[in-house]
């Protein structure tokens, strides 16, 4: 730019003169006539942020609903179908009340990492909550039912009722034991199989290779049920104990008439399985529970506690 200095054209303007003033012409006052691109009340996005927009891939994920007030106008789903996603301010998790969305984003990488970690934790909690509510299967048995919702198989062996049993489990070898009815045929009630290292710990003490544990099985009177103890045992989920229960001789299948679900005793017998008490009055079907033959049910033992042979009422 040039100005008139003593009748000549100068190359350097005085400090107070306006910019873009031609020789012998009136100056243009940009401060009074034009609005800068980064002025406050401009509706468009600042030029410094235009290069930061990019297309982000869409993937399935949990939607976590949070209460808060959006700090920028417009939501991501308010535009046209082919319109790119707009930047939306997210309410702060730490309770900081002031500041705009841009200020929250410029607070540094540690704050950004804190938001990500909290969001990830919330997503994990949501996934666990969804898994506990829905279970891994399709029926109510996967979510747990009260004992009143089960039709437990009665036992009619008052004369030949089996007694409680104990056996010594050795951690470095296969352990098998059985419980029989004290009748003339020595009828099998249940057989238990504990593979080596199928008990991981007892009362928070890890078992050594040469450790032994006294396992007790107490039968439920007049029912096909039993309790396994000690309660402090933790079983190996990859190779835990299993059992087979036989009920063909002393099982009372006439109980099927107490439920409209079964048209016959045979239908009730086919629905029987091994159920365990996961928590007080919260019963779930045992892992891999199913018929192993005529009038027998086999299943994994997933924990110490109470078990019954039953079907949904």
pLDDT of residue 7: 52
In order along its 313 residues, the chain shows pLDDT tens digits of: 444 555 555 555 555 555 555 666 666 555 544 555 555 544 444 444 444 445 555 555 444 545 444 444 444 444 444 544 444 444 444 444 444 444 444 444 544 444 444 445 444 444 433 443 343 433 444 579 999 999 999 999 988 999 999 999 999 999 999 999 999 999 999 999 999 999 999 999 999 999 999 999 999 999 999 999 999 999 998 999 999 999 999 999 999 999 999 999 999 999 999 999 999 999 999 999 999 999 999 999 999 999 999 999 9
Bridge partners for 169 per DSSP: 213
Q: What is the pTM of this model?
A: 0.57
pLDDT digits (tens, 9 = 90+) for 17-47: 555 556 666 665 555 445 555 555 444 444 4
Question: CA angle at residue 91 from 86 to 97, to 5 degrees?
Answer: 130
| CA angle centred on 243, ends 287 and 159, rounded to 5° | 125
Maximum CA extent, the chain? 136
* Average pLDDT in the chain: 74
Q: Where are the domains of the chain?
A: 1-34, 142-312
pLDDT at 248: 94
Residue pair 289/272 in contact by the 8 Å Cβ criterion: no
Q: What long-range pairs does 299-303 form, CB within 8 A, spacing at least 24?
A: 299/242, 299/243, 299/273, 299/274, 300/240, 300/241, 300/242, 301/192, 301/228, 301/235, 301/240, 301/241, 301/242, 301/243, 302/235, 302/237, 302/240, 302/276, 303/233, 303/234, 303/235, 303/276
Q: Which helix (H) or strand (E) covers residue 166, if one does?
A: strand 165-170
CA distance linking residue 214 with residue 232, whole number of Å:
12
Specify the DSSP class assigned to residue 145.
B
For 142-312, give the CATH class: mainly beta
Segment 209-245, tens digit of pLDDT: 999 999 999 999 999 999 999 999 999 989 999 999 9
């Amino acid at each position: 730019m040039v100005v008139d200095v003593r009748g000549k054209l100068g190359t350097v303007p005085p400090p107070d003169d306006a910019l873009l003033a031609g020789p012998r012409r009136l100056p243009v006052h940009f401060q009074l006539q034009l609005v800068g691109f980064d002025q406050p009340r401009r509706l468009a996005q600042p030029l410094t942020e235009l290069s930061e927009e990019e297309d982000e891939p869409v993937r399935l994920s949990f939607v976590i609903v949070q209460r808060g007030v959006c700090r920028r106008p417009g939501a991501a789903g308010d535009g046209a179908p082919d319109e790119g996603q707009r930047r939306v301010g997210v309410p702060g998790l730490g309770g900081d009340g002031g500041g705009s969305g841009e200020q929250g984003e410029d607070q540094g990488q540690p704050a950004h990492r804190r938001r990500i970690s909290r969001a990830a934790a919330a997503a994990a909690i949501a996934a666990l909550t969804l898994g506990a509510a829905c279970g891994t299967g399709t029926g109510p048995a996967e979510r747990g039912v009260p004992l009143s919702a089960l039709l437990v198989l009665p036992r009619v062996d008052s004369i030949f009722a089996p007694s409680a049993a104990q056996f010594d489990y050795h951690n470095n070898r296969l352990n098998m034991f059985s419980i029989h009815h004290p009748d003339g045929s020595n009828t099998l009630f249940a057989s238990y199989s504990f593979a080596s290292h199928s008990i991981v710990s007892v009362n928070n003490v890890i078992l050594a290779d040469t450790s032994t544990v006294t396992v007790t099985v107490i039968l439920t009177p007049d029912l096909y049920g039993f309790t396994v103890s000690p309660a402090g045992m933790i079983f190996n989920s990859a190779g835990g104990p299993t059992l087979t229960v036989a009920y063909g001789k002393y099982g009372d299948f006439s109980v099927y008439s107490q439920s409209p679900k079964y048209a016959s005793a045979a239908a009730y017998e086919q629905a029987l399985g091994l159920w365990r008490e996961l928590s007080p009055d919260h019963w779930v079907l045992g892992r891999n529970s199913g018929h192993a033959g005529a009038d027998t049910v086999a299943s994994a033992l997933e924990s110490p506690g109470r078990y019954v042979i039953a079907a949904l009422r």
